[in-house]
Structure 1
Amino acid sequence: MLLGLIPSSPVQTGSLDYNSSAASEISLLHPLHLSSMDINYTTKGGTLEISCRLFTDDMEDALKKQFNVPADLSAPAKHEAMNSLLKKYIAMHLKFQANGKPVILNYLGFEKDREAVIVYVESAPIKSLKKLEVYNTLMYDLFDDQTNIMHVVVNGKRKSDKLDYPETKAVIFE
């Protein structure tokens, strides 16, 4: 399920099928501005494996606004161009510090999942993660009611936090 709120399989409520075109039109008007991020620290490689889940229509609007170009994350013919834009957008709006030092992030790519786009990022190796700070302004350039939720797993220990606009920094592990 997208962000725990949008069904990942067909759902019937009354006469509305969430896979119908009417549902697609309704999803374009969704009032919820939310992103969800999973961050896993792998002790084996010492990297942060990051996946960000965002509403596709919001991400396309953010790319259009940021880069002043048409954005279509669903078109296979535009996948390479969208990858380039997403890489730049993520670099501008998502930063990490581990143990007080900036973390180098490597953009891996994205995929569509119904109403969501999932962006994948991995960090350069981090030795012995003790403190993790996340600077997250995803969609802040678009919405003043944006909420960014982060779930972090380090050494099997899970912690979650959220940033509500205009908050930009979360200290997850200390």
Structure 2
Amino acid sequence: MKKLFNPLILCIITSFFITLFAYAHPFYVSISSIDFNNNKKQLEISCRIFYDDLELTLKNQQKQKIDIINPKIKAQADSAIATYIRNNFRIKLEGQTKKLSYVGYEVEDDVAWCYFVIPQVQQINKISITNQLLFQDFKTQSNILHVTVGKNRKSAKLDNPKRTVDFAF
């Protein structure tokens, strides 16, 4: 019986594919949730970003090397993160741009959770979101958005370079 594959060739091919997959380009994604808290009359925003991607972006965009897990100066890390996200994540309610108030961040596994609120929101009929987080540093970046108002939840995926989405409630 004739062998279809030489064991050495099969080993070389297998090694090639293992090496290829080990160095395959990773995917870049963030997930942001925007929830209307009717009791507190505020929008609550959380952005979930891989902390190593965020550190690289802060280094490139703000020329600051920030260790998010163990910052030397926590206030400096907070300021850098708040500034970066405010510059790249914007919300308009009923056509008016709203200021994101920074709450803080925490790291869970390999993700940084960054929290913001927009106070004094009575109701939401139309919300426009611009999300270009990490777009300058990662050309294949995708940003997923989930917006919840009452029992209505709407979602969108913004692939670089698409930055803006509108929702009506």
TM-score past 0.5 threshold: yes
- In the alignment, the residues of structure 1 paired with residue 38 and residue 26 of structure 2 have an alpha-carbon distance, to the nearest angstrom, of 39
Give the letter for the 2:135 counterpart: Y
Change (3 A) 1:61 1:76: closer
- In the alignment, the residues of structure 2 paired with residue 140 and residue 151 of structure 1 have an alpha-carbon distance, to the nearest angstrom, of 19
- In the alignment, the residues of structure 2 paired with residue 142 and residue 47 of structure 1 have an alpha-carbon distance, to the nearest angstrom, of 31
Higher helix share: 2
Structure 1 stretches (4+) deviating beyond 6 angstroms?
Answer: none
CA contact (8 A) 2:71 2:77 kept: no
Superposed CA deviations along residues 46-91 of structure 1, whole A, max 9, x for unmatched, are 2110000000110000000011121210115332211110011011
CA contact (8 A) 2:107 2:113 kept: yes
Tell me how far 1:104 sits from its aligned partner.
Answer: 1.9
Change (3 A) 1:82 1:144: same
- In the alignment, the residues of structure 2 paired with residue 30 and residue 120 of structure 1 have an alpha-carbon distance, to the nearest angstrom, of 29
CA contact (8 A) 2:43 2:118 kept: yes
The structure whose Rg is larger is 2
RMSD of aligned Cα (Å):
1.5
- In the alignment, the residues of structure 2 paired with residue 170 and residue 114 of structure 1 have an alpha-carbon distance, to the nearest angstrom, of 29
Q: Which residue of 2 aligns with 1:43?
A: 38
Q: Is residue 119 of structure 2 the alignment partner of residue 124 of structure 1?
A: yes
| Aligned partner (choices 140, 145, 149) of residue 140 of structure 2 | 145
User: What is the TM-score when the length of structure 2 is the normalising length?
Assistant: 0.82
CA contact (8 A) 1:108 1:121 kept: yes
- In the alignment, the residues of structure 2 paired with residue 30 and residue 82 of structure 1 have an alpha-carbon distance, to the nearest angstrom, of 28
Q: Which runs of 5+ in 2 are unaligned?
A: 1-21
- In the alignment, the residues of structure 2 paired with residue 154 and residue 141 of structure 1 have an alpha-carbon distance, to the nearest angstrom, of 30
- In the alignment, the residues of structure 2 paired with residue 76 and residue 136 of structure 1 have an alpha-carbon distance, to the nearest angstrom, of 26
Q: Which residue of 2 aligns with 1:80?
A: 75
Give the letter for the 2:26 counterpart: P
Matched-pair identity in %: 31
Q: Which residue of 1 aligns with 2:156?
A: 161
After superposition, where does 1:1-174 map in structure 2 within 5 Å?
31-174=26-169
Q: How many residues align?
A: 147
User: What is the TM-score when the length of structure 1 is the normalising length?
Assistant: 0.80
CA contact (8 A) 1:104 1:124 kept: no
Tell me how far 1:173 sits from its aligned partner.
Answer: 2.4
Give 3-state SS (helix, strand or coil) of 2:67's partner: coil
Change (3 A) 1:69 1:104: closer
